[in-house]
Amino acid sequence: IDGVWHTAIVVYGREYFFGGGIQSARPSSTAYGKPIEIVQMGTTHIPLDLMTDFLRDLEPRFNMNTYSLLSNNCNNFSEELAQFLTGSSIPAHITGLPADVLETPLGAMLGPMLSQ
């Protein structure tokens, strides 16, 4: 496992991410720092106002109380937004990371604690 990755989606001149709630910032200006890798997901034909409505609809599932390192994190948020905007998934090595971690001896030991 090379790392535990933070993901975000840059669209309409903003970087959208899940960090204690759905947030947006100027691209590459968040507390998470500059990206190590940028993956072009394609273009969207979804208008900004429709995307804003979609983000509002996601708020009950992506907020401070629903965060889970293993099952409801920035990568899950990025996956849902990418699917909505482009019909494409973020890279599988990102979405599969929790399962990869849990398959390691340390992950198997920490899994129950991380799931609480």
Catalytic residues: 6, 74
Task: Determine the Cα–Cα distance for residues 57 and 20; give it in Å rounded to an integer.
Answer: 16
Check if the beta carbon of residue 28 is closer than 8 Å to that of residue 15.
yes
Burial of residue 34 (number of CB atoms within 10 Å: 0-12, 13-18, 19+): exposed
Task: Determine the Cα–Cα distance for residues 112 and 87; give it in Å rounded to an integer.
Answer: 33
